[in-house]
A and B are shown apart, each in its own frame.
Chain A
Amino acid sequence: MKKLLKYLTKGYMKETVLAPLFKCIEAVFELFVPLVVAQIIDVGIKNGDKGYVLCMCLVLVGLGLAGLAFSITAQFFAAKAATGFSKTVGNALFRHIQTFSYTDLDELGTSTLMTRMTSDLNQVQTGVNMTLRLLLRSPFIVFGAMIMAFTIDLNAALVFAAAIPVLSIVVFGIMLAGMPLFGKVRACLDKLLGRTRENLSGARVVRAFCIEDKETAKFRDENDKLTAAQLTAGRISALMNPLTFALINLALIVLIYTGAVRVDEGILTQGQVVALYNYMSQILVELIKLASLIITITKAAACGKRIQSVLDSGEGMTGGAESEGFTGYKYSVEFRNVSLRYKNAGENSLTGISFTAKKGSVIGIIGGTGSGKTSLVNMIPRFYDPTDGDIYINGINAKDYKLDALRGKIGVVPQKAVLFKGTIRENMRWRDENASDEEIMRALDTAQAKDIIEMREKGLSCTVEQNGTNFSGGQRQRLTIARALVGSPEILILDDSASALDFATDAALRKALRTLKNTTVFIVSQRTSSIMHADKIIVLDDGEVVGVGTHAELLGNCPVYKEIYDSQFRKEGGETA
């Protein structure tokens, strides 16, 4: 939290100081009001001086005006500091997230990051704003009122000195006692939410097994628990108003009585008693404001802590200085005894992987779900670093490359075909800012995506909605393949990227990819037909390489490969193959 506040004090020091300061000055004007009223009673009324009364009432108006001016200034500074702070933190947070490695992203989860950036940040902004406006002002009025009471009369002021701590204990005690109870309410609500979601997303199962009544009974039970928790929490907070009301009136009784004695003794005047009475009322209002402010601040502080934890986490990934590697080196990619264990995972996802990929060759990677295919190709652009062993690109360790130089060599087509808001042209230029239309069209042609553009009126300038929702799954997949091809990458990785394509398009795509003589292509697939013509096929099973070779070799010497092949092809085997 402290570190977050740095953004406030560094960029918005002036506003952060001035906002509460002006608020306090405004409070001073408010504190003068009862004194003026006392003067009206003791001087104006006593002497029947209407001019004086009018004069004093004008003073009241003046105090109001001055208060207005100061508080408007304060509001401005507070708003400025709060919005500026949230902008600075937002930028810092976004920049920081951009430095995250894949491991960091896995650990924090994108949905968490998104709530941090949106609702948490918003809460913090409100919190800062309210804090600057009220956190000093309310105690200032409470103690100011007490001090004013002391200036009027010591004995009467002692009533204040006694009432304020008791009232504070009650107000803050109730709040503190309520907070864990509200936490319990939230927990009950979360449970209810889980039950509701489960019954919606699992509606078919619930109905297939006819457990609607049972589920309803469970929901009712949890709902009753929620209501009970709400009632308990409500009962505590419902104490606030009656208790403070009773206390303040008790204090008033004592105050009036003390006042009566002091007036009788000739020490106080009637107007001063009225002034003391007014101060007492002001205190209650401010204490309740303060209590609700503290709830806002606690919430904001919790959000701030969550934001801070994001800023503190993430190890990022650093690169070396290399940018090219040995030109003309025989192998484009080399794995030397590579193992990978994801952070916090109990077991290796990949163990002892070694293979070489010749420049310009096509490498097929096949294996069952969870066998480590994606993990393997994700290590080539250093999305994850091996926990053991090394990967060489053009004969140089991948870790010695500058990150953007390394990734610049590689065109990746991820499993999830994502397009970004903008035009097709903008999307196609992700790898190469300056790619010409001609170049883009060539890539689209190779990716079998030319027809998508030709169908649209605006061609390359055709707009893409967020997540590419205005394109079908198959179209998106072909477009993401084209995106990776623009700028002629040295290495192309297709991670199960043809799953939404029909067999004919898939085959045409593979044929076109073969014409890229200078690109080493990695094809990850579960379909034997997608990889059977690769120069080299790597068969993975449970994180280990169980076979390397061509289709014909593997059929002869790799039982896992044969098993996969047989499950997809007729046993009597490949009349057309």
Chain B
Amino acid sequence: MKTGKGILRKILRYIKRYIALMLLSVILATLTVAGTLYIPIIIGKAIDLIVSAGNVDFPAIFILLLHTGVVAGITALLQWLMGAINNRVTFDVVRDIRNDAFRKIEELPLSYLDTKSTGDIVSRVISDADQFADGLLLGFSQLFTGIVTILGTLVFMLMLDPWITLAVVVLTPVSLLVARFISRRTYSMFKLRSETLGEQTALIDEMIGNEKTVKAFCREDESIEKFEEINERLEKCSLRATFFSSLTNPGTRFVNSMVYAAVGLFGALAVIDRGASGGITVGELSCFLSYANQYTKPFNEISGVVTELQNAFACAARLFELIEEPSEVPEPEDAVELTDAKGSIKAENVYFSYVPDKKLIEDFNIDIKPGQKTAIVGPTGCGKTTFINLLMRFYDVTDGTVSADGHDIRKITRKSLRSSYGMVLQETRLISGTIRDNIIMGKPDATDDEIKAAAKASHAHSFIKRLPQGYDTVIGEDGGNLSQGQKQLLCITRIMLCQPPMLILDEATSSIDTRTELKIQDAFSKLMKGRTSFIVAHRLSTIRDADVILVMNQGSIIEQGTHDELLAKNGFYAKLYNSQFDTSAET
């Protein structure tokens, strides 16, 4: 519950901005409830004036009815206002929280984003925020009015007759007990149901998700058999859970009708005994009966609202968890701007690992002169990306320094460091927007001519030209109908456009057919001339002319040197290189 309080405090921090509206909402709720409760009293009074034939006080009834009309009108108006305010506060609060959450996403260290699943974070920002909004709105509109209604009804009833009120007060909680009794009994049934449902979802996930494999092995009948067995069990426990939980409604309604009967009995007796010791009128009885209905309703609602609120709090907790994650290490006050980088990169005694007790890079040293071409090779999953992560400062070194142009990169603004690199990754990432938007990412003020020149250099122009709206064709996040190769060409165009001082090419041409690749290689070598570049490649033949080759295996750099040096060394690189030709095992 302690954490619950903490979350409430955080929510209140967001609500604080709208405190005036909130107060107004509370006042309106009180007034609305008062109006709602007052009307049965007036109507009751009117009923008292309708006694029997020839015994009806029309002028007085008229005034009372006019009263009713005015009160009802005002109450309705206030109710509407309250609804509008609640909507405003809720949606604005959720908007603010969402904005903060998104801002946080842009600031989180890559180490967080790499280890957390995208789906999980997305669901926090989208569906958790949404559920939180729902819960908050329901809480605003029903929890408070519910409580005020209960209190108000009590006060009004006490004013009418304390004894009947006592009967109502004693009996009503029984319906809560019934509801709690049922929900406690059904808890284990629902647990079993969701477990079975989980089992079924897992099977569906496995079988339908791999349906092609299932079909390739003609295992359709076996998977049907498995599914139907689980489905049979699911039906049984679903029936139990659904049925027993659906007893709540008839159960509480039964209790409510008992309350109603009790009010009827005591009320009627009080009317009969009227005069001697207080007692009530027929109109007051009808008023009581109407209260008996109103009084029990919020009780039933509130239990629903409380579950909803608990859920909303849980969602808010997940959101705040995200918002409170530490951001990237802040830049020092005196961070340098890296302008027109010459491209000397130096790593001194660098230690790095993703997980503290799993050593990765140890005592790594390298000195890259401006304009040198550095290649990184190694088997799949050897950690080639790790090196790039350190260069771009997506991750910080654990120990030692990486410096660019003589500055420790931790003392350079991230923005200037990162924009000094041009990066093309194997995995292409486009943003939703036009083709142009995607190209000008690194240089928003590029002219059309510049864009076209860049696209021509990357051989993307010819396919862009053929798109329905050319450079203004809108593509989705996943690149729409563009092929993997075309997407990669777009990513290359970005780099061609901003002509950064340093380049990182991570399998940049892996999805492009061999002929175009040759042409692009050509454009790349032009671009790389005089620029420091880092190239990750599968095909060893493409990197033989590199100035330095870093050979990585299992996360660490095990050899470095030129192609010839490394071959002469007859180590891992030589083995890797020769294994492409090694066929002795077969013949």
- Asked if A511 and B586 make an inter-chain contact with CB atoms under 8 angstroms apart, the answer reads yes
Contact of B277 with A by CB under 8 A: no
Q: In the complex, A529→B584 CA distance in Å? A: 11
Q: Which of A39-47, A387-395, A455-463 contacts B (4 or more CB under 8 A)?
A: A39-47
As a 0/1 sequence over residues 547 to 574 of chain B, the CB contacts with chain A under 8 angstroms (1 = contact) are 0000000000000000000000000000
Q: In the complex, A294→B51 CA distance in Å? A: 42
Given contacts A208-B423, A242-B80, A265-B53, contact A98 B205 (CB under 8 A): no
- Asked if A260 and B50 make an inter-chain contact with CB atoms under 8 angstroms apart, the answer reads yes
As a 0/1 sequence over residues 304 to 335 of chain A, the CB contacts with chain B under 8 angstroms (1 = contact) are 00000000000000000000000000000000
As a 0/1 sequence over residues 355 to 396 of chain B, the CB contacts with chain A under 8 angstroms (1 = contact) are 000000000000000000000000110000000000010100
Q: In the complex, A271→B494 CA distance in Å? A: 83
A117-B204, A200-B122, A241-B83 are known; give 9 further A-B pairs, CB within 8 A: A53-B269, A79-B243, A95-B224, A114-B205, A194-B432, A205-B425, A205-B429, A266-B54, A370-B483
Q: Which one of A86, A223, A242, A408 lies within 8 Å of B79 (CB-CB)?
A: A242
What residues of B have a CB within 8 angstroms of the CB of A110 in the complex? 208-209, 211
Q: Which one of B214, B216, B239 lies within 8 Å of A381 (CB-CB)?
A: B216
Contact of B400 with A by CB under 8 A: no
Given contacts A117-B204, A281-B293, A511-B585, contact A207 B477 (CB under 8 A): no
Contact of B212 with A by CB under 8 A: yes
**Nearest CB on B from A433, distance (A):** 9
What residues of A have a CB within 8 angstroms of the CB of B268 in the complex? 40-41, 44-45, 53, 57
Contact of B61 with A by CB under 8 A: yes
Q: Which of A151-159, A295-303, A499-507 contacts B (4 or more CB under 8 A)?
A: A499-507
**Nearest CB on B from A370, distance (A):** 7
Q: Which one of A76, A467, A502, A563 lies within 8 Å of B514 (CB-CB)?
A: A563
Q: Which one of B201, B231, B379, B477 lies within 8 Å of A194 (CB-CB)?
A: B477
Q: Which of B445-453, B465-473, B575-583 contacts A (4 or more CB under 8 A)?
A: B575-583
Contact of A50 with B by CB under 8 A: yes
As a 0/1 sequence over residues 121 to 138 of chain B, the CB contacts with chain A under 8 angstroms (1 = contact) are 110011000100100010
Q: In the complex, A577→B578 CA distance in Å? A: 11
What residues of B have a CB within 8 angstroms of the CB of A344 in the complex? none
**Nearest CB on A from B516, distance (A):** 11
As a 0/1 sequence over residues 47 to 90 of chain B, the CB contacts with chain A under 8 angstroms (1 = contact) are 10111111110100110010011001101110110011011100
Q: Which one of A67, A230, A253, A466 lies within 8 Å of B202 (CB-CB)?
A: A466
Q: In the complex, A504→B586 CA distance in Å? A: 10
Contact of A373 with B by CB under 8 A: no
Contact of B21 with A by CB under 8 A: no
How big is chain A's contact interface, by range?
35 or more
What residues of B have a CB within 8 angstroms of the CB of A577 in the complex? 581, 583
Q: Which of B9-17, B255-263, B455-463 contacts A (4 or more CB under 8 A)?
A: B255-263
- Asked if A114 and B208 make an inter-chain contact with CB atoms under 8 angstroms apart, the answer reads yes
Q: Which of B312-320, B341-349, B413-421 contacts A (4 or more CB under 8 A)?
A: B413-421
**Nearest CB on A from B394, distance (A):** 6
Q: In the complex, A383→B213 CA distance in Å? A: 10
As a 0/1 sequence over residues 184 to 208 of chain A, the CB contacts with chain B under 8 angstroms (1 = contact) are 0000010011111111111111111
Residue pairs across A and B with Cβ atoms less than 8 A apart, 18 shown, are A37-B289, A40-B264, A63-B257, A82-B242, A114-B209, A194-B432, A199-B106, A200-B122, A202-B431, A208-B418, A230-B87, A242-B80, A245-B79, A256-B65, A256-B68, A257-B62, A278-B289, A529-B581
Q: In the complex, A220→B50 CA distance in Å? A: 61
Chain A residue with the shortest CB-CB distance to B388: A204
- Asked if A507 and B583 make an inter-chain contact with CB atoms under 8 angstroms apart, the answer reads yes
Chain B residue with the shortest CB-CB distance to A246: B76
Closest 9 CB pairs of A and B: A266-B53, A238-B83, A507-B585, A64-B257, A249-B72, A234-B87, A60-B261, A202-B429, A246-B76
Q: Which one of A44, A203, A235, A250 lies within 8 Å of B69 (CB-CB)?
A: A250
What residues of B have a CB within 8 angstroms of the CB of A189 in the complex? 126, 130
Q: Which one of B56, B99, B208, B261 lies within 8 Å of A219 (CB-CB)?
A: B99
Q: Which of A47-78 contact B (CB under 8 A)?
A: 48, 50, 53-54, 56-58, 60-61, 63-65, 67-68, 71-72, 75-76, 78
**Nearest CB on B from A115, distance (A):** 10
Q: In the complex, A71→B247 CA distance in Å? A: 9
- Asked if A529 and B54 make an inter-chain contact with CB atoms under 8 angstroms apart, the answer reads no
Contact of B482 with A by CB under 8 A: no
**Nearest CB on B from A547, distance (A):** 15
Chain B residue with the shortest CB-CB distance to A200: B118
Q: In the complex, A369→B579 CA distance in Å? A: 23
What residues of A have a CB within 8 angstroms of the CB of B257 in the complex? 33, 60-61, 63-64, 67
Contact of A264 with B by CB under 8 A: yes
Q: In the complex, A54→B269 CA distance in Å? A: 9
Q: In the complex, A230→B238 CA distance in Å? A: 35
Contact of A210 with B by CB under 8 A: yes
What residues of B have a CB within 8 angstroms of the CB of A404 in the complex? 218
As a 0/1 sequence over residues 80 to 123 of chain B, the CB contacts with chain A under 8 angstroms (1 = contact) are 10011011100110110011001101110010010000100110
**Nearest CB on A from B73, distance (A):** 6
Q: In the complex, A93→B514 CA distance in Å? A: 45
**Nearest CB on B from A379, distance (A):** 13
- Asked if B250 and A403 make an inter-chain contact with CB atoms under 8 angstroms apart, the answer reads no
Where the two chains meet, the residues of B that have a C-beta atom closer than 8 Å to any C-beta of A are 36, 39, 43, 46-47, 49-56, 58, 61-62, 65, 68-69, 72-73, 75-77, 79-80, 83-84, 86-88, 91-92, 94-95, 98-99, 102-103, 105-107, 110, 113, 118, 121-122, 125-126, 130, 133, 137, 200-202, 204-206, 208-221, 223-224, 227-228, 231-232, 234-235, 238-239, 242-243, 246-247, 249-251, 253-254, 257-258, 260-262, 264-265, 268-269, 271-272, 282, 285-286, 289-290, 293, 379-380, 392, 394, 414-415, 418-419, 421, 423, 425, 429-432, 441-442, 444, 476-477, 483-485, 494, 511, 513-514, 539, 541, 578-587
Contact of A273 with B by CB under 8 A: yes
- Asked if A263 and B99 make an inter-chain contact with CB atoms under 8 angstroms apart, the answer reads no
Chain A residue with the shortest CB-CB distance to B66: A253
Main secondary structure of the interface of B (DSSP, over half): helix
Q: In the complex, A539→B5 CA distance in Å? A: 68
Given contacts A110-B211, A196-B122, contact A242 B77 (CB under 8 A): yes
Contact of A178 with B by CB under 8 A: no
Q: Which one of A45, A50, A208, A260 lies within 8 Å of B46 (CB-CB)?
A: A260
Given contacts A53-B269, A64-B257, A71-B250, contact A87 B65 (CB under 8 A): no
Q: Which one of B113, B227, B265 lies within 8 Å of A203 (CB-CB)?
A: B113
Chain B residue with the shortest CB-CB distance to A77: B243
What residues of A have a CB within 8 angstroms of the CB of B239 in the complex? 79-80, 83-84
Chain B residue with the shortest CB-CB distance to A62: B261
Q: In the complex, A99→B578 CA distance in Å? A: 48
Contact of A434 with B by CB under 8 A: no
Chain A residue with the shortest CB-CB distance to B202: A466
Q: In the complex, A206→B264 CA distance in Å? A: 70
Q: Which residue of B102, B214, B514 has the most chain A CB atoms within 10 A of its CB atom? A: B102
Q: In the complex, A60→B84 CA distance in Å? A: 41
What residues of A have a CB within 8 angstroms of the CB of B56 in the complex? 260-261, 263-264
What residues of A have a CB within 8 angstroms of the CB of B476 in the complex? 194
What residues of B have a CB within 8 angstroms of the CB of A235 in the complex? 84, 87
**Nearest CB on A from B230, distance (A):** 10
Contact of A420 with B by CB under 8 A: yes
Q: Which one of A263, A403, A407, A571 lies within 8 Å of B53 (CB-CB)?
A: A263
Q: In the complex, A270→B53 CA distance in Å? A: 10
- Asked if B106 and A224 make an inter-chain contact with CB atoms under 8 angstroms apart, the answer reads no
Given contacts A75-B246, A87-B231, A209-B442, contact A510 B293 (CB under 8 A): no
Q: In the complex, A44→B271 CA distance in Å? A: 10
Q: Which one of B92, B265, B587 lies within 8 Å of A54 (CB-CB)?
A: B265
Q: Which one of B65, B271, B539, B578 lies within 8 Å of A576 (CB-CB)?
A: B578
- Asked if A567 and B539 make an inter-chain contact with CB atoms under 8 angstroms apart, the answer reads yes
What residues of A have a CB within 8 angstroms of the CB of B92 in the complex? 227
Contact of A494 with B by CB under 8 A: no
What residues of B have a CB within 8 angstroms of the CB of A466 in the complex? 202, 205-206
- Asked if B88 and A270 make an inter-chain contact with CB atoms under 8 angstroms apart, the answer reads no
